[in-house]
Amino acid sequence: MLVIQRLEYDAFGEPPKVLKIKEHHLAALQNDEVLVKILAAPINPSDMLTIQGLYGTKPSLPANGGSEGVGEVIGVGGDVKKVRKGDWVVPLTGPTWSTHLVAKEGDLLPIPKMDVRSAATFKVNPPTAYRLLHDYVHLTPADVIIQNAANSAVGQAVIQIARARGVKTINVVRPRPDLDQLKAELQAMGADYVVTEEELTDLLKSVAAPKLALDCVGGKSTIALTDALAPNGTMVTYGSASKQPVEVSTLALVFRNITLHGFWLTRWFKEPANRGKIGPMYGELSQMILEGKLKAPEMDVIPFRDFDKAFTQALKMKGGAKQLLLFEEACVLKM
Amino acid sequence: MLVIQRLEYDAFGEPPKVLKIKEHHLAALQNDEVLVKILAAPINPSDMLTIQGLYGTKPSLPANGGSEGVGEVIGVGGDVKKVRKGDWVVPLTGPTWSTHLVAKEGDLLPIPKMDVRSAATFKVNPPTAYRLLHDYVHLTPADVIIQNAANSAVGQAVIQIARARGVKTINVVRPRPDLDQLKAELQAMGADYVVTEEELTDLLKSVAAPKLALDCVGGKSTIALTDALAPNGTMVTYGSASKQPVEVSTLALVFRNITLHGFWLTRWFKEPANRGKIGPMYGELSQMILEGKLKAPEMDVIPFRDFDKAFTQALKMKGGAKQLLLFEEACVLKM
């Protein structure tokens, strides 16, 4: 019988305090089930907020953490057809902070073998960037978009996917001591323009006004973004780094016909109309990764047994490198 | 030759200071022209903002004021077919703060004879309310909408048009000494609920969440409106009484899928796709007025010769009765 370890919490609070490793005995696989050995799973900001009780949805307690990751199929039930032992899969539902998980094959996304960091962070951020660039404004080559939090994981994916389509990006970042280095890094990734909010006004004198603004910050930053938009432009908010409300001038809304939307990948996945779009989207994104056109952001790779350290670090970081839990040898096989 | 008088300004500034009466000699009518004697013309907030140089569009100077009104046809060119002497018409373009105006028949909307206050304020506010209720969310009887500035001219038209369609309205007004009287007046007009922002939370416990929010205020008021909206709801901003940016929580945008739009009637009229909708809309609104289902808001009727007084009053009033300029005997016939 397989004993697995996974991270659980029975109260909302600071993740390093409330998360504990629990052991479970796994029952024998049902015919329609797949046993997946998790290889790596990231700690996302939304995971942290969920555990803190601050996210849009609250799980019932006790709960398991981890919303994405990558694993290898190590067992299949008799009726399973689409995945085989040895395949790499991305679980579409968690919990992934676990040495193993059991899932129906329909809840597993088979992916080609690739860099484990890209694979483990494949489910959430690249599709978020993909949908933000596809679902709101029809963009053609030489069109311009603008985004804040350009150095975030989604921001970096936006830069690379836009570049692959010939769409130009204006990337707003916060002032910082190593600003020139950050600019160079994002430009190497494909960013056309990297500016602070202060530098934005000058830039807009010489660049076509953007049709689409992507906002992960809120507050005053959204005034800057919506003021930059072309008439009839659209801003889509998908996060709230500032924890401030989104703001937009009435002039922009009324006289320039700016529209504001919010995007939430969880809702997108739940829409029945989107079922058929999931496969082609991930196919296209896999291809980009294999061709080196879409790289994962920098991350700290930390063994699962040191999860305490990883979560303490995740709590401290604001916009820095993501923590990736690595599950080598963490599972224990018993009788 | 007809000498007409009209209000002109050659600098942006406070309307009572910069507006002057100027006389002009009218040339003989061209074959496709119509001569209209203005009967009455209102002073709208957007007129005041335009003269102050604070509106979305700035006219070139010197400029004439007045964006709506009602007049009687007193002369027609030889090729004019759709209007006749004695008809009442609403000029689709200004300037209406003028004893007379000359227009092509295509720029005149013939209307049935009705209360002069309704006729003079027919062009802007009722269609704004009409479009706000028609163009963003499909509303069916028993659906609920919410609006702020419910006592404004547009707000009152929203109440009456919604009532005629069986749509319920939650009307947010500011606290004031005569609050109970205002509530009674708006309820007599057809408002289902009239509340201050403070009373809104309690009301929402017992009323279905609104699908549509109409905002003429901005600032914190838009937080209250968007928080009240049902999931997938829409807020449309059409004015900015607070002169503060529109604010919306990221939770509302991202997790409840709220969408924000701006509405500007001037843009709506300019859209070629809307040409065919203008006649049927005004037909429906005329019918409502004649049936007593849509009444004009209270207004102060002031003779044109006392325009100074009217504009001084308009500058002082915030949300009070509108000023209506009446043009009896103000035109001078010479030789």
pLDDT in tens, chain B (335 residues): 789 999 999 999 999 999 999 999 999 999 999 999 999 999 988 899 999 998 878 899 999 999 999 999 999 999 999 999 999 999 988 899 999 999 999 999 999 999 999 999 999 999 999 999 999 999 999 999 999 999 999 999 999 999 999 999 999 999 999 999 999 999 999 999 999 999 999 999 999 999 999 999 999 999 999 999 999 999 999 999 898 999 999 999 999 999 999 999 989 999 999 999 998 999 999 999 999 999 999 999 999 999 999 999 998 876 567 899 999 644 333 32
Shortest Cα distance, chain B CAs vs residue A124, angstroms? 15
* CB contact (8 A) between residue A264 and residue B257: yes
* CB contact (8 A) between residue B254 and residue A248: no
Mean pLDDT, chain A, rounded, equals 93
Alpha carbons A132 and A143: distance in angstroms, whole number: 15
Look at residue B244 and give its three-state secondary structure. Answer: coil
For position A320, what pLDDT does the model report? Answer: 67
Instruction: Please give the residue of chain A at the shortest CA–CA distance from B256.
Output: A262
- A187 shares contact with chain B (CB less than 8 Å): no
A41: closest CA among A19, A58, A12? Answer: A19
Look at residue B153 and give its three-state secondary structure. Answer: helix
- A219 shares contact with chain B (CB less than 8 Å): no
Task: Return the structure tokens found at B143.
Answer: 């659906």
Chain B contacts of A257, Cβ < 8 Å?
A: 261-262, 264, 267
Q: Which residue in A55, A217, A236, A254 has the most chain B C-beta atoms within 10 A of its own C-beta, making it the best mutation to test that interface?
A: A254
Buried/exposed code over A56-77 (b: 16+ C-beta within 10 A; e: otherwise): eeebeeebbbbbbbbbebebbb
Q: Thinking of the domain B3-121+297-326, which architecture would CATH place it in?
A: Alpha-Beta Complex (3.90)
Does this chain's domain B3-121+297-326 share its CATH topology with B125-266? no
- B269 shares contact with chain A (CB less than 8 Å): no
- B247 shares contact with chain A (CB less than 8 Å): yes
Per-residue DSSP letters for A162-208? HHHHT-EEEEE----TTHHHHHHHHHHHT-SEEE-HHHHHHHHTTSP
Q: What is the mean pLDDT of residues A195-211?
A: 97
For position A54, what pLDDT does the model report? Answer: 87
Per domain, the residue ranges of chain B are 3-121+297-326, 125-266
Task: Return the structure tokens found at A76.
Answer: 């299949």
The domain made up of A125-266 has a fold known as Rossmann fold (3.40.50)
For position A215, what pLDDT does the model report? Answer: 98
Shortest Cα distance, chain A CAs vs residue B195, angstroms? 24
CA atoms within a 13 Å half-sphere pointing along the CA-CB vector of B130: 20
Task: Return the structure tokens found at A50.
Answer: 């969920």
**Segment 87-126 of chain B within 8 Å of chain A by CB:** none
Alpha carbons A192 and A166: distance in angstroms, whole number: 10
For position B320, what pLDDT does the model report? Answer: 67
Task: Catalogue the active-site residues of B.
Answer: 55
Alpha carbons B121 and B49: distance in angstroms, whole number: 18
Q: How far is CA A112 from the centre of its chain?
A: 19
Q: Where are the beta strands (DSSP E) in B77-187?
A: 88-91, 100-104, 108-111, 144-147, 168-172
CA atoms within a 13 Å half-sphere pointing along the CA-CB vector of A306: 13
Residue type, B120: A
* CB contact (8 A) between residue A250 and residue B240: yes
For position A93, what pLDDT does the model report? Answer: 86
Active site residue A55: yes
For position B335, what pLDDT does the model report? Answer: 28
Look at residue B144 and give its three-state secondary structure. Answer: strand
- A58 shares contact with chain B (CB less than 8 Å): no
* CB contact (8 A) between residue A218 and residue B56: no
* Phi-psi sector, A219: left (phi>0), alpha (psi -120 to 50), beta: left
- Provide the number of CB pairs (under 8 Å) joining chain A to chain B: 95
Per the CB < 8 A criterion, the answer to whether A127 and A281 are in contact is yes
For position A322, what pLDDT does the model report? Answer: 86
CA atoms within a 13 Å half-sphere pointing along the CA-CB vector of A37: 18
- CB-nearest to B245 from A56, A248, A256 is A248
Q: What is the mean pLDDT of residues A218-229?
A: 97
